[in-house]
């Protein structure tokens, strides 16, 4: 497994991050533990979760499953760079009370303690703001993080789903007061969704923020969705986000061209989609969300795949990016 430093920190993480969003919701505890064991054995040391993961009726369940895995011992916790998130409404069955969601100082401090309890650990290595909070100034957010860092509960802060200007704003305010600021941004980025190249990734690179793409296969769309539909395999490619996306004729044509291209090279679509992300400037570690050990092993193969210049050019032709900023903004 290859490793990289996360943004401008000295924190070394694997080039793939293990996303746990399916644990509890689609994968039971025993199978979730098996996936985490296999990931650690393969050298994956970067685990990503969130306080709201686990399903609508069981928010927090995913963190609980990760915590029960840590509790099995074997120095599991010390071998893992643990990332979780704060923002979402944690109430079950109705709206939350005021100050029980978003990024107020009181909710950040409360949410950290709740996550630590579920995760059965004394620290969160990377604490990520799951969305922007337009009502809370970054001065307040950073003050809350300062307290948690001083207490040893949080080591680094990152963002998720932030626009480029918010990455800049957060880090400019942090810099003015001598703080480290954001060290990572977790954004939607894949071959079929490249808008992050316009502002988010340039902003992240300018500020030394490591990019952690989520949905690298765009909900299965880039994992051979059309082939699986024809073969009647892969239930998720017949329903959900992947099926909705394929209802767009233009996108369906591009996906078909993508699969035909890779058939000619004898390559697996999902592995190529991950390998493409690993080749992109600024990308630290795409987040994979395996539901089984087999899914994990397929993702790991992408780290050993080098894409030729010819293939990269063809991928750009099928899924063209928006172009470089600011030139691409020109009429």
pLDDT, tens only, 191-225: 999 999 999 999 999 999 999 999 999 999 999 99
Burial 280-314 (b: 16+ CB within 10 A, else e): bebbbbbbbbbbeeebbebbbebbeeebeeebeeb
- DSSP run (H or E) holding 148: helix 138-151
The residue with tokens 């919701």 is: 25
Residue 236 is predicted with a pLDDT of 56
Instruction: Summarize pLDDT for 109-149 with one digit per residue, the tens.
Output: 999 999 999 999 999 999 999 999 999 999 999 999 999 99
Residue 97 is predicted with a pLDDT of 82
Question: CA-based diameter of the chain, in Å?
Answer: 58
- Mind listing the domains of the chain with CATH numbers? 3-219+268-311 (3.20.20.100)
Phi and psi at residue 91, in whole multiples of 5°? -70, 145
Tokens, residue 135: 């009502």
pTM for this entry: 0.95
Residue 55 is predicted with a pLDDT of 85
Reply yes or no on whether the pLDDT at 239 is more than 70: no
Give CA 237 to chain center in angstroms: 20
Residue 283 is predicted with a pLDDT of 98
* Reported confidence tier of residue 96, pLDDT bands at 50, 70, 90: confident
Instruction: Summarize pLDDT for 69-83 with one digit per residue, the tens.
Output: 999 999 999 999 999
Residue 240 is predicted with a pLDDT of 64
What span, in angstroms and rounded, lies between the C-alpha atoms of 195 and 17? 21
Residues 259-262: contacts with CB under 8 Å, at least 24 apart: 259/224, 259/226, 259/227, 261/311, 261/314, 261/315, 261/318
Residue 93 is predicted with a pLDDT of 73
Tally of CA atoms within 13 A in the half-sphere of 320 that contains its CB: 5
The residue with tokens 């963002």 is: 159
Instruction: Summarize pLDDT for 27-77 with one digit per residue, the tens.
Output: 999 999 999 999 999 999 999 999 999 987 799 999 999 999 999 999 999
* Reported confidence tier of residue 179, pLDDT bands at 50, 70, 90: very high
Q: Where are the beta strands (DSSP E) in 200-268?
A: 210-211
What span, in angstroms and rounded, lies between the C-alpha atoms of 100 and 95? 10
Averaged pLDDT score across all residues of the chain:
95
The catalytic residue positions are 53
Q: Where are the beta strands (DSSP E) in the chain?
A: 3-5, 12-14, 17-19, 46-48, 81-86, 124-129, 154-160, 182-186, 210-211, 287-288
């Amino acid at each position: 497994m290859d490793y990289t430093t996360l943004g401008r920190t000295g924190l070394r993480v694997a080039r793939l991050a293990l996303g746990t969003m399916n644990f509890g919701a689609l994968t039971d505890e025993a199978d979730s533990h098996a996936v985490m064991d296999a990931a650690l054995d393969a050298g994956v040391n970067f685990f990503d979760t969130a306080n709201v993961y686990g399903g609508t009726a069981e928010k927090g369940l995913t963190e609980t499953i990760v915590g029960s895995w840590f509790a099995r011992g074997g120095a599991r916790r010390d071998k893992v760079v643990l990332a979780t998130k704060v923002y979402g409404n944690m109430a079950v069955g109705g709206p939350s009370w005021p100050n029980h969601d978003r990024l107020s100082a009181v909710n950040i401090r409360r949410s950290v303690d709740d996550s630590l309890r579920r995760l059965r650990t004394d620290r969160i290595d990377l604490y990520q703001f799951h969305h922007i909070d337009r009502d809370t100034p970054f001065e307040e957010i950073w003050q809350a993080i300062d307290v948690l860092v001083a207490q040893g509960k949080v080591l680094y802060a990152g963002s998720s789903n932030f626009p480029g200007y918010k990455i800049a704003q957060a880090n400019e305010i942090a810099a003015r007061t001598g703080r480290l600021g954001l060290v990572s941004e977790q954004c939607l980025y894949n071959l079929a969704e490249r808008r992050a190249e316009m502002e988010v990734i340039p902003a992240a690179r300018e500020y030394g923020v490591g990019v952690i793409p989520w949905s690298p296969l765009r909900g299965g769309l880039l994992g051979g969705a059309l082939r699986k539909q024809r073969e009647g395999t892969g239930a998720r490619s017949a329903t959900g986000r992947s099926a909705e996306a394929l209802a767009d004729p233009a996108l369906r044509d591009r996906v078909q061209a993508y699969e035909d291209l890779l058939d000619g090279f004898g390559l697996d679509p999902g592995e190529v989609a991950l390998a493409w992300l690993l080749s992109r400037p600024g990308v630290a570690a795409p987040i994979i969300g395996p539901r089984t050990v087999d899914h994990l092993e397929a993702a790991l193969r992408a780290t050993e795949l080098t894409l030729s210049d010819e293939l990269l050019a063809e991928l750009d032709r099928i899924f063209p990016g928006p172009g470089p900023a600011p030139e691409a903004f020109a009429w």
